[in-house]
Chain A
Amino acid sequence: MRILINGLILFFILILTYLTSVFSKELIEEFPVPPPPFSEGIYPCSNCHASMDLNPKKRVLKDEHTNIQLHHAETLRWCLDCHYSKNRDKLRLYNGELIDFGRSYLLCGECHGNVFRDWKAGIHGKRQGYFIGGKRTYLLCVHCHDAHSPKFKGIKPEPPPLPPKVKRDVR
């Protein structure tokens, strides 16, 4: 009987350690990325913000960041839904967790779950580097999308090929 109970206890301990290891793997899942694409001199944000009083009001900014236009479900939110009001060097997830800018994909992924799933697999967005025998990095969402106005912007195409006659003219 005693052996049976001991065995059962051992069994549960094993299951528990297995589950926690799986669970913590989920939590520490990391995605190597290049540095976030900040404008020069803007980071750390706390250089200015640490000594500023907080103004939580939704408003048109006049003194700073005037180039930032929110076109991203802007009727529903304000800067401080993403930027942590008390420490501007961090982003804030819906559950209150603070994250570094190098993990901004977690923020985007909260509302864009399907895209985020594809991104993790390297399908939405892209990965660069070595897929065998070397380092491979993910581009952050914000390398391609402006977090404030995320619609992909049009670009100038490279020149078309030359017409056949000109193309072949060797001399």
Chain B
Amino acid sequence: MTKEEKEALIARLEERYLKKYKKKFRVGIEEAIQNTLWGYGLDLSRCIGCRRCVYACVEENNCSREKPQSQWIRVIRLKKGSLINLEDSEHYYNPELVPEKEFLYIPVQCQQCENPPCVRVCPVHATWKEPDGLVVVDYNWCIGCRYCIAACPYRGRIFNWGEPNVPPEHWNTSVHYLGNRPRMRNVVDKCTFCIQRVRMGRYPACVEVCPTGSRKFGNLLDPNSEIRYVIQNKRTFRLKEDLNTEPKFYYFFEA
């Protein structure tokens, strides 16, 4: 697409959202910042499983609140000492207070793989990896076949069973074309590390809200970034390393 075509498309979208949601949206098309490769760190020895991240994400990214409910972050609870198992771990836990002594909490969201299996299976090229490493979806192209959902080993992709159900006063009108703009029915979406924020130099919403400071973010190519500090100074690991998906999401424990 040429610059003019893009601008025309954005103008059309902003007009449509104004009609439909009675809100003035700003639809960004900021491109990847040069020499950036976004990486994420999560300190499992501090995460308390409080789910503040889940709801901050829903709010920031205009996810459907209910009917259907759509959440991009899933927090798994695990007995301390057991092996990490994404398939049949408990994520409906609901105690009076967290953390609970005998449990560990593992938030899981799109891992922004360098080698994303979801991208490979898309029959219409509606999803791809950006130069800054973010795996994105063009909702206008997605045909809702859900091959990508089946291909993702992390359950990082979500199907929109209906139009987003967002209370009018809760729309976040600061959106990116490849991120949190209002989705249509029957398309797939996912975490983009808050593309609309990080390309403006802001932390993802989940990083900012975390009351324990367990979530770290930054440019993998910048030796002074938080994420590089984590990789250099902590014992990190990634989920399902054997699959060779090369996630850019690093979990760690205090040494």
Q: A residues engaging B (CB < 8 A)?
A: 118, 121-134, 139, 144, 152, 154-163, 166-171
- Mask for B58-86, Cβ within 8 A of A = 1, else 0? 00000000111101001000000000000
In contact, A169 and B67 (Cβ under 8 angstroms): yes
Residue of A nearest to B161 (CB): A168
Hey, which chain B residues are within 8 Å of A156, CB to CB? 50, 96-98
Say whether B201 faces chain A, with CB atoms less than 8 Å apart. yes
CA distance A163 to B200 in the complex (A): 36
Q: A122-B226, A144-B213, A154-B48 are in contact. Are A160 and B96 (CB under 8 A)?
A: no
Given contacts A121-B226, A167-B69, contact A161 B92 (CB under 8 A): yes
Instruction: Report the minimal beta-carbon distance from B53 to chain A, rounded to whole angstroms.
Output: 9
A-contacting residues of B (Cβ < 8 Å)?
33, 43, 48-52, 54-55, 66-69, 71, 74, 91-99, 161-162, 200-203, 207-208, 210-213, 215-216, 218, 225-226, 229-230, 233-234
**B201 touching A132, Cβ below 8 Å:** yes
Is B52 a contact partner of A158 (Cβ separation < 8 A)? yes
Residues of B within 8 A of A125 (CB): 213
Check if A131 sits within 8 Å of B202, measured CB to CB.
yes
Interface centre among A125, A126, A130, A139 (most CB of B within 10 A): A126
User: Do A161 and B74 touch (CB < 8 A)?
Assistant: yes
Main secondary structure of the interface of A (DSSP, over half): loop
List the B side residues contacting A144 at CB < 8 Å: 211-213
Contacts of A167 in B (CB 8 A): 68-69
The 5 A-B pairs at the shortest CB distance, nearest first, are namely A132-B201, A126-B213, A154-B97, A158-B51, A170-B162
Ordered by A's residue number, 14 sampled pairs between the chains whose C-beta atoms are within 8 Å are A118-B233, A122-B216, A123-B216, A124-B213, A126-B210, A131-B202, A131-B218, A144-B211, A154-B99, A157-B50, A157-B93, A158-B54, A160-B94, A161-B91
Give the complex CA separation of A163 and B233 in angstroms.
39
* A122-B226, A131-B202, A156-B98 known, 11 other contacts, Cβ within 8 Å: A121-B229, A126-B210, A133-B200, A144-B212, A157-B49, A157-B93, A158-B52, A160-B93, A160-B94, A170-B67, A170-B162
Q: Which of A128, A152, A155, A160 contacts B92 (CB 8 A)?
A: A160
A128, B208: Cβ atoms closer than 8 Å = yes
Chain A positions within 8 Å of B229 at CB level: 121-123
Q: In the complex, what distance in Å separates the CA atom of A124 from the CA atom of B45?
A: 11
Give chain B nearest CB distance to A116 CB in angstroms. 14
Distance from A162 Cβ to chain B, minimum over Cβ atoms (Å): 5
Instruction: State the CA gap A156–B95 with chains docked (Å).
Output: 8
Contact B74 A152 (CB under 8 A): no
Q: Which residues of A contact B210 (CB under 8 A)?
A: 126
